[in-house]
Structure 1
Amino acid sequence: MTTDGLSRGFLIGAAIGSGSNAVAAEQGGADFLLAINAGRLRNMGVPSISSMLPVRNVDALTLGFARDELLPLCKIPVLLGVNVWGVDFDPVRQAAEIARSGFAGAVNFPSCMHYSRPMQQILSRAGRGIEQEVAQLKAVQDAGMMSMFYCASRTQARLAADAGIALICLNIGWNAGGILGHRTRSSIEEVATEAREIGRLVKRINPKTRFLLEGGPIATPEDLSRVLRLAPLDGYVGGSTIDRLPLESSVASLIDGFRQASVRPNRLDAENRTLFAWSEQYGFVGTSDALLLCLRRLRALGAARDPVLIVSEPGQNTAPAMRALANPAGLKKGSANLVRIDVAEQDLPARARNVLFGHRDTTSSRPPLLADPSVDMIVIHAPERLTNALQRRLARAMRDGIFRVAGSRRSLEIKPRIIFQSDLIVDEDRLHEDLTHAGLEPELVSLLAGWTLRLPPLRERVGDLPLLIAKFLDDQKGPEFSPLAMLNLRAHKWPGNEAELHMVLGALVGRAPTSTVSPEELAPLLRSEKPDSRKREGRSEKDLIVDTLWRNGFNRSKTAEALGISRKTLYNKIRKYELSG
Structure 2
Amino acid sequence: MGCKFTRQEVLDRLNKKRAEKKPIIIGAGGVGLIAKAADKAGIDIIMSYCTGPVRMNGNAGQLGYMQYVDCNGVSLEMGNKIIDRVSDTPMVAGIGAGDPYRDIDRLIDELTGIGYSGITNVPTLGGHSGALRKSMEREGIGFNGEVKLIRKCHDKNIFTIAYAFDEEQVKSMVQAGTDIICPHVGVTRDKAFKFNVLTVEKAAEKINRLYDVAVKENPDVIVACHGGPFADPESVQKGFRLTKADAFVGASTVERIPTEEAIYEVVQEFRSLTLGK
What is the TM-score when the length of structure 1 is the normalising length?
0.44
On the 8 A contact 1:157/1:168 being kept in 2, the answer is yes
Q: 2:14 matched to 1:7?
A: yes
**SS of the counterpart of 1:236?**
strand
- How many angstroms apart in 1 are the aligned matches of 2:231 and 2:97? 30
Tell me the residue number matched to 2:20.
Answer: none
Q: 2:176 matched to 1:163?
A: yes
On the 8 A contact 1:42/1:244 being kept in 2, the answer is yes
On the 8 A contact 1:141/1:147 being kept in 2, the answer is yes
- TM alignment of 1:177-216, pairs within 5 A: 177-179=190-192, 181=193, 183-216=195-228
- Which is higher, the Rg of structure 1 or of structure 2? 1
Match of 1:106 among 96, 119, 132: 119
Tell me the residue number matched to 1:77.
Answer: 90
Q: 2:101 matched to 1:67?
A: no
Match of 1:256 among 257, 265, 268: 268
- CA offsets 1:173-219 (integer angstroms, 9 cap, x no match): 1211144x551321111101000111011011101110111111111
**Aligned-CA RMSD value:** 1.8
Aligned residues: 263
Summarize the Cα distance change of 1:50–1:44 in structure 2 as closer, same or farther, 3 Å threshold: same
On the 8 A contact 1:91/1:135 being kept in 2, the answer is no
Summarize the Cα distance change of 1:117–1:182 in structure 2 as closer, same or farther, 3 Å threshold: farther
Q: Displacement, 1:82?
A: 0.2
- How many angstroms apart in 2 are the aligned matches of 1:141 and 1:109? 16
Tell me the residue number matched to 1:56.
Answer: 69
Summarize the Cα distance change of 1:103–1:19 in structure 2 as closer, same or farther, 3 Å threshold: same
- CA offsets 1:260-311 (integer angstroms, 9 cap, x no match): 113689xxxxxxxxxxxxxxxxxxxxxxxxxxxxxxxxxxxxxxxxxxxxxx
Tell me the residue number matched to 1:236.
Answer: 248
- CA offsets 1:433-485 (integer angstroms, 9 cap, x no match): xxxxxxxxxxxxxxxxxxxxxxxxxxxxxxxxxxxxxxxxxxxxxxxxxxxxx
**SS of the counterpart of 1:224?**
helix
Q: Which moved more, 1:97-106 or 1:237-246?
A: 97-106
On the 8 A contact 2:187/2:197 being kept in 1, the answer is no
Summarize the Cα distance change of 1:264–1:194 in structure 2 as closer, same or farther, 3 Å threshold: farther
What code does the residue aligned with 1:108 have?
N
On the 8 A contact 1:168/1:209 being kept in 2, the answer is yes
Tell me the residue number matched to 1:95.
Answer: 108
- TM alignment of 1:262-273, pairs within 5 A: 262=274
On the 8 A contact 1:138/1:147 being kept in 2, the answer is no
Match of 1:115 among 88, 105, 128: 128
Summarize the Cα distance change of 1:206–1:4 in structure 2 as closer, same or farther, 3 Å threshold: same
Q: Displacement, 1:258?
A: 0.8
**SS of the counterpart of 1:114?**
coil
- How many angstroms apart in 2 are the aligned matches of 1:227 and 1:117? 30
- TM alignment of 1:266-305, pairs within 5 A: none
What code does the residue aligned with 1:122 have?
S
**SS of the counterpart of 1:128?**
coil
Tell me the residue number matched to 1:19.
Answer: 32
- How many angstroms apart in 1 are the aligned matches of 2:258 and 2:275? 26
- How many angstroms apart in 2 are the aligned matches of 1:123 and 1:50? 19
Match of 2:151 among 105, 128, 138: 138
- How many angstroms apart in 1 are the aligned matches of 2:236 and 2:196? 15
Summarize the Cα distance change of 1:182–1:209 in structure 2 as closer, same or farther, 3 Å threshold: farther
What is the TM-score when the length of structure 2 is the normalising length?
0.89
- How many angstroms apart in 2 are the aligned matches of 1:163 and 1:141? 7
Match of 2:165 among 152, 166, 169: 152
What code does the residue aligned with 1:154 have?
E
- TM alignment of 1:391-406, pairs within 5 A: none
Tell me the residue number matched to 1:128.
Answer: 141
**SS of the counterpart of 2:134?**
helix
- How many angstroms apart in 1 are the aligned matches of 2:119 and 2:93? 5
Stretches of structure 2 lacking an aligned partner (at least 5 in a row): 1-5, 18-22
- CA offsets 1:469-522 (integer angstroms, 9 cap, x no match): xxxxxxxxxxxxxxxxxxxxxxxxxxxxxxxxxxxxxxxxxxxxxxxxxxxxxx
**SS of the counterpart of 2:248?**
strand
**SS of the counterpart of 1:169?**
strand
- How many angstroms apart in 2 are the aligned matches of 1:80 and 1:229? 29
State percent identity of aligned pairs. Answer: 22
- CA offsets 1:118-168 (integer angstroms, 9 cap, x no match): 322211111112111111122112212211101111110010112221111
More relative contact order, 1 or 2 (CA 8 Å, 6+ apart): 2
- How many angstroms apart in 2 are the aligned matches of 1:264 and 1:154? 64
- How many angstroms apart in 2 are the aligned matches of 1:207 and 1:88? 37
- How many angstroms apart in 2 are the aligned matches of 1:150 and 1:90? 22
- How many angstroms apart in 2 are the aligned matches of 1:259 and 1:109? 40
Tell me the residue number matched to 2:239.
Answer: 227
**SS of the counterpart of 1:241?**
coil
- How many angstroms apart in 2 are the aligned matches of 1:4 and 1:94? 23
Q: Displacement, 1:88?
A: 5.1
**SS of the counterpart of 1:212?**
strand
- TM alignment of 1:16-55, pairs within 5 A: 16-55=29-68
